[in-house]
């Protein structure tokens, strides 16, 4: 939740030609969202670097020295957004790591030799007081946790007069806690750095002229213009111009992608060269960047099954440490050994390492075009043993192309028929319409005038041209709703359907006028990706399609799939998924359409393709932002590798901590050495978790190059 309050204006504390230092009380507020502040300032023109000093309540800004950029920076601070102050109880914000306890322990160690015994005792108790208090508070509020063992360990050393041991152990505990908090905070910061600041203003066409308006006022259907260096503020479709667009912030693809008329563009991407005119399809909270932000905030707050289990195991092992200590003391009556045992626990590496590893995987995923809705999605994908694919738009490209134009009227040739259909279909936005319009443009066909178009969703279009009624759509629409029979042309229809074509039916004045055949091509990388999915542990690959059974089975054999559900109606997809789950399978469903939403929800983990319908993307657990199916492999690699990493950390921490406890029990390790070895191992686990699972970018790029080669060969074999 955001605190809506006016923020006081800021004062200019110091200025150099390319540097400003500004000061205000709210910059020292603990509620300040540091990353939001830095991101907002870095999005301003000319700003190169931002460094916040919350203790001094100031911020230093390096910029290019231009006067207008200086004015922009100062103007921003006159009205800073209240959203940069967040509720202090927000679960997504961790407390700042405290280094004062570390310095306090170091100062105590330096002073102890110079003090009298009473003063040594007083200083020791003062230094260890925070740990003792934390232990007592934890015991009263949460029960027996690791904080209680730490408190007992330093208290035992101090009570026996071993002040150096008590203060040294306190210093190691404080240093370990500081580094652990820093690492965990860094994991959160990595994800938050993906929250890209969006442009504040946009150039939009109003009454034939370009005017600059706030992005918050943009609406779907607006036509905006974007130039070199500008960030695209909306999701939309290019209607003019061409440009090189850097999509690294969304898909992780470092090389700029050429965009021209008809191409789709995403918010948060940046034009490197050229200029585009774009019709907005999604604005504000519906854009890709806004959805990424919601995914990340959700990821920061959710806890996965693996993380919950890790914390449960960690808490159970506190009792193991306590029981071991009791046995050691009963056998030896040695308080030093007891303190050494209490300083070793299994909880830190398990409780801290697991969420850090998961968030690192989410960060790597987002950089490579994979959005995990939460840590539970990563868990479920790793455990999935059955992958169910909807065919259209998933195993196929989802981009139709016109392959055949048949005129059924001697007065109409194929070009005139195609021109008529394209002139009407240009008012629709579905893939069939896009393919027909694209084919007509490639043939440079002229526009045929017609009246207003009536659009019946999922059926077809009707209009009038030169006083005659035209109907375009599915066979069901024309025969059932318009009562126009195509039975006389069954041979043509059967031949096209058997060759795997999708048909568009055209009628003029209640009689058949023509047929247009379209084909959705199989993704060239599909077979390779499915093979590698099987190598990653997938035991069963299943195809769902509305195609006839013979065609579906042929495709399944080509791809090496295990099971086919053919002639599957939309409502049957979820039923097929439920059936597989009833058989004990852990199901991952991959789809992209509106009709896929029930199946995405029914599966253990739902995965939406980048061109997926809004409803599919809203109900999916994982959204892929890159068109390559290889992105699915990246998601699987991250999920499986992260769970493997967590398991390895569990075994390593258990083994090392057990060895340290054994050394402490036999008197081989002092409390200081126990704390040093235990904290060192914990930090090693945290750093390895922070590194996470490598996707080996060079191999991924090589794989993409191979896919591009396959695609080029595929298109060449079909004659372009």
Res 673 pLDDT > 70 = yes
Rounded to whole angstroms, how far apart are CA atoms 685 and 650? 9
**149-188 exposure pattern, b = at least 16 Cβ within 10 A, e = fewer:** bbbbbbbbbbeeebbebbbbbbbbbbbbbbbbbbbbbbbb
Residue 182: inside a domain: no
| 536 and 390 within one domain | yes
Query: pLDDT band for position 236 (50/70/90)?
Result: confident
Tokens of 294: 């919601």
Question: Can you tell me whether residue 407 is helix, strand or coil?
Answer: strand
Res 481 pLDDT > 90 = no
| 592 and 513 within one domain | no
Question: 235: which strand partners?
Answer: 282
Residue 678: inside a domain: no
| 544 and 452 within one domain | no
| Angle subtended at Cα 491 by Cα 489 and Cα 493, rounded to the nearest 5 degrees | 70
| 614 and 579 within one domain | yes
| 531 and 391 within one domain | yes
Q: Which residues contact 355 (CB under 8 A, 6 or more apart)?
A: 184, 187, 303, 307, 375
Rounded to whole angstroms, how far apart are CA atoms 605 and 430? 27
Query: Helix 335-342 vs helix 146-159: angle between axes, to the nearest 10 degrees?
Result: 150
Residue 371: inside a domain: yes
Whole-number pLDDT of residue 707 = 44
H or E element in which residue 660 lies: helix 630-665
Q: Name which residue leads in pLDDT, 189 or 451.
A: 451
Residue 378: inside a domain: yes
Q: Name which residue leads in pLDDT, 490 or 548.
A: 490
| 532 and 385 within one domain | yes
CATH label of the domain that carries residue 46: 3.30.70.330
Measured in degrees and rounded to the nearest 5, phi and psi for residue 15 equal: -145, 135
Residue finishing a domain among 463, 495, 521: 521
Res 465 pLDDT > 60 = yes
DSSP 8-class letter at 607: E
DSSP 8-class letter at 85: B
Nearest alpha carbon to residue 287 among 249, 236, 246, 253? 236
Left (φ > 0), alpha (ψ -120 to 50) or beta: where does 193 sit?
Answer: alpha
Whole-number pLDDT of residue 414 = 93
Rounded to whole angstroms, how far apart are CA atoms 356 and 689? 6
Rounded to whole angstroms, how far apart are CA atoms 523 and 609? 13
| 533 and 595 within one domain | yes
DSSP annotation string for 18-56: TEEEEE-GGGG-TTB-HHHHHHHHHTSTTEEEEEEETTT
Residue whose tokens read 């995405």: 600
Whole-number pLDDT of residue 701 = 45
Give me the helices (H) in 542-629, please: 549-559, 570-582, 597-602, 614-619
> How high does pLDDT run on average in the chain?
78
Residue finishing a domain among 623, 640, 657: 640
| 492 and 576 within one domain | no
Q: Name which residue leads in pLDDT, 264 or 126.
A: 126
DSSP 8-class letter at 474: -
Nearest alpha carbon to residue 235 among 573, 711, 611, 489? 611
Residue 659: inside a domain: no
Tokens of 44: 């301003």
Using DSSP bridges, classify how beta strands 454-456 and 460-465 pair: parallel, antiparallel or unpaired.
Answer: antiparallel
Whole-number pLDDT of residue 3 = 38
Res 432 pLDDT > 70 = yes
Residue 207: which domain range?
Answer: 201-230+234-286
Query: pLDDT band for position 720 (50/70/90)?
Result: very low
Whole-number pLDDT of residue 355 = 74
Using DSSP bridges, classify how beta strands 540-544 and 563-565 pair: parallel, antiparallel or unpaired.
Answer: parallel
Nearest alpha carbon to residue 372 among 361, 383, 357, 386? 361
Res 696 pLDDT > 60 = no
What is the number of other CB atoms lying within 10 angstroms of the CB of residue 301? 12
H or E element in which residue 7 lies: none
Alpha carbon 114 to its chain's center: 56
What is the maximum span of the chain, computed from C-alpha positions, in angstroms?
Answer: 114
Residue finishing a domain among 640, 665, 680: 640
Query: Helix 335-342 vs helix 671-691: angle between axes, to the nearest 10 degrees?
Result: 10
Res 514 pLDDT > 90 = yes
Residue 554: inside a domain: yes
* Residue 379 annotated as catalytic: no
CATH label of the domain that carries residue 450: 3.40.1110.10
| 417 and 375 within one domain | no
| 610 and 509 within one domain | no
611-670 pLDDT, tens per residue? 655 545 666 788 887 778 888 998 999 899 888 888 888 888 878 878 888 888 888 888
CATH label of the domain that carries residue 217: 2.70.150.10
| 530 and 515 within one domain | no
Number of structural domains found in the chain = 4
Residue 711: inside a domain: no
Using DSSP bridges, classify how beta strands 454-456 and 540-544 pair: parallel, antiparallel or unpaired.
Answer: unpaired
Rounded to whole angstroms, how far apart are CA atoms 627 and 502? 22
Catalytic position from the list 390, 547, 604, 626: 390
Residue 126: inside a domain: no
| 470 and 417 within one domain | yes
346-397 pLDDT, tens per residue? 666 666 677 778 777 887 887 777 888 777 788 889 999 999 998 877 888 7
Res 1 pLDDT > 50 = no
CATH label of the domain that carries residue 601: 3.40.50.1000
- % of the chain exceeding 70 in pLDDT: 77
Rounded to whole angstroms, how far apart are CA atoms 179 and 425? 61
């Amino acid at each position: 939740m955001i605190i809506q309050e006016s923020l006081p204006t800021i004062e200019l504390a110091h200025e150099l030609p390319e540097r400003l230092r500004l000061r205000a009380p709210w910059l020292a507020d603990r509620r300040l969202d540091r990353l939001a502040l830095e991101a907002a300032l870095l999005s301003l023109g000319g700003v190169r670097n931002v460094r916040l000093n919350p203790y001094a309540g100031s911020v230093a800004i390096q910029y290019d020295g231009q006067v207008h950029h200086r004015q922009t920076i100062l103007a921003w601070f006159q009205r800073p957004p209240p959203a940069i102050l967040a509720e202090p109880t927000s679960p997504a914000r961790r407390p700042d790591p405290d280094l004062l306890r570390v310095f306090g322990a170091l100062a105590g160690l330096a002073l102890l030799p110079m003090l009298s015994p009473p003063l040594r005792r007083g200083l020791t108790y003062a230094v260890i007081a925070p740990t003792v208090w934390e232990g007592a508070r934890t015991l009263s509020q949460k029960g027996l946790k690791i904080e209680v063992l730490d408190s007992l360990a330093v208290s035992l050393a101090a009570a026996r007069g071993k002040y150096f041991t008590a203060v040294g152990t306190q210093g190691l505990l404080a240093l370990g806690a500081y580094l652990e908090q820093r690492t965990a905070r860094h994991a959160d910061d990595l994800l938050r750095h993906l929250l890209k600041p969006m442009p504040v203003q946009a150039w939009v066409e109003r009454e034939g002229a370009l005017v600059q308006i706030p992005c918050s006022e943009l609406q779907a259907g607006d036509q905006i213009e974007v130039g070199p260096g500008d960030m695209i503020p909306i999701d939309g479709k290019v209607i003019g111009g061409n440009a090189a667009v850097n999509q690294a912030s969304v898909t992780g693809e470092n090389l700029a992608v050429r965009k021209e008329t008809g191409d789709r563009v995403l918010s948060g991407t940046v034009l490197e060269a050229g200029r585009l005119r774009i019709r907005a399809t999604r604005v504000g909270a519906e854009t890709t960047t806004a959805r990424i932000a919601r995914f990340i905030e959700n990821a920061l707050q959710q806890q996965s099954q693996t993380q919950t289990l890790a914390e449960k195991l960690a808490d159970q092992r506190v009792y193991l440490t306590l029981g071991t200590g009791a046995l050691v003391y009963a056998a030896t009556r040695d308080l030093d050994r007891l303190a050494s045992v209490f300083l070793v626990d299994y909880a830190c590496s398990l409780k801290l390492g697991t969420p850090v590893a998961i968030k690192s995987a989410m960060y790597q995923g987002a950089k490579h075009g994979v959005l995990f809705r939460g840590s539970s999605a990563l868990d479920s994908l790793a455990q999935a043993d059955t992958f169910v694919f909807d065919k259209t738009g998933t195993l196929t490209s989802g981009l139709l192309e016109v392959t055949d134009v048949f005129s059924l009227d001697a007065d109409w040739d194929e070009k005139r028929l195609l021109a008529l259909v394209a002139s009407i279909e240009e008012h629709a936005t579905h893939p069939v319409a896009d393919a027909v319009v694209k084919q007509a443009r490639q043939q440079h066909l002229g526009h045929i005038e017609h009246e207003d178009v009536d659009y019946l969703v999922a059926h077809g279009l009707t209009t009038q041209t030169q006083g005659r009624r035209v109907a375009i759509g599915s066979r069901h629409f024309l025969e059932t709703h318009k009562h126009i029979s195509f039975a006389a042309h069954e041979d043509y229809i059967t031949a096209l359907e058997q060759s795997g074509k999708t048909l568009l039916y055209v009628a003029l004045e209640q009689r058949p006028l023509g047929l247009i055949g379209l084909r959705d091509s199989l993704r060239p990388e599909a077979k390779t990706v499915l093979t590698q999915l099987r190598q990653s542990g997938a035991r069963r690959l299943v195809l769902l399609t509305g195609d006839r059974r013979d065609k579906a089975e042929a495709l399944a054999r080509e791809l090496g799939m295990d099971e086919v559900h053919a002639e599957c109606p939309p409502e049957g997809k979820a039923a097929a998924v439920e059936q597989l789950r009833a058989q004990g399978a852990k199901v991952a469903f991959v789809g992209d359409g509106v009709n896929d939403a029930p199946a995405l929800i029914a599966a253990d983990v739902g995965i939406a393709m980048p061109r997926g319908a809004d409803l599919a993307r809203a109900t999916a657990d994982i959204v892929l932002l890159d068109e390559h199916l290889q992105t699915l492999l990246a998601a699987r690699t991250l999920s499986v590798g992260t769970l493997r990493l967590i398991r390895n950390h569990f075994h390593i921490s258990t083994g090392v901590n057990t060895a340290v406890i054994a050394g402490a029990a036999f008197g081989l390790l002092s409390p200081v050495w126990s704390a040093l070895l235990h904290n060192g191992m914990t930090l090693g686990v945290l750093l390895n978790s922070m590194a996470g699972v490598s996707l080996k970018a060079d191999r991924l790029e090589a794989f993409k190059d191979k896919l591009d080669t396959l695609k080029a060969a595929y298109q060449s074999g079909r004659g372009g």
